[in-house]
Structure 1
């Protein structure tokens, strides 16, 4: 099971990330763009994800992934049940969400150092 501390460790290792508490949600963002959010009860992680691919993701694993609330469906966003995620899967989702909001040059430089 993935915890908020696990998500925090991954997110804060990514360049230009800052952590904020907004309406009891822990949010990780680059500048003003949020790419990961954790619910107040730490059961759900919202993350940036391409809108055109989210229906397929949710259909493939409906016990793990869910649509965001209606008002957030206009954004590139999906929810995941943290208890259903492995640490490696969470790391990949957080990193991919971060890559959506960071300049490509910075993402490439950071990911090259990880290899």
Structure 2
């Protein structure tokens, strides 16, 4: 189980992220792009996620994931119950959402720093392609 302070710790550890309070919701942004939002009661988190994948995500784990409110369905957005997440899942969701908000080079640098891509991991590096 994770809480809002765990979300804050992970999000604020990512380059270019800042926190904003908008209509009683804590939001995490890169520039003007919101990639995370915590509900006022701190029980759910909205996060950037590809629209074309969210129905499958929600259908696979309906006890954990929720469709966004109707007004947010036009965006790349889905929600998750924080109590249903473990710290590793939270880290993965936050980093993936952040990657949708930053330039590709910034994302690649951070993922490489974390050891999530590079030699033997994820996508091949330029050296591996040769």
Instruction: Return the TM-score normalized by structure 2.
Output: 0.87
Aligned match of 1:66 = 66
Question: 1:44 — aligned with what?
Answer: 44
Match of residue 26 from structure 2: 26
Q: Output the CA distance in 2 between the equivalents of 1:89 and 1:18.
A: 21
Which of 1 and 2 has greater Rg? 2
SS at structure 1 position matched to 2:100: helix
TM-score (norm 1): 0.98
Q: Gaps spanning 5+ residues in structure 1: where? A: none
Question: What RMSD, in angstroms, separates the aligned Cα atoms of the two structures?
Answer: 0.6
Displacement of 1:111 after TM fit?
1.5
More helix by share: 1
**Aligned-partner Cα distance in 2 for 1:34–1:68:** 14
Aligned length: 115
1:1-115 alignment, distance < 5 Å: 1-115=1-115
Please state how far the C-alpha of 1:112 moved relative to its aligned partner: 1.1
Of structures 1 and 2, the one scoring higher in RCO (CA 8 A, sep 6+) is 1
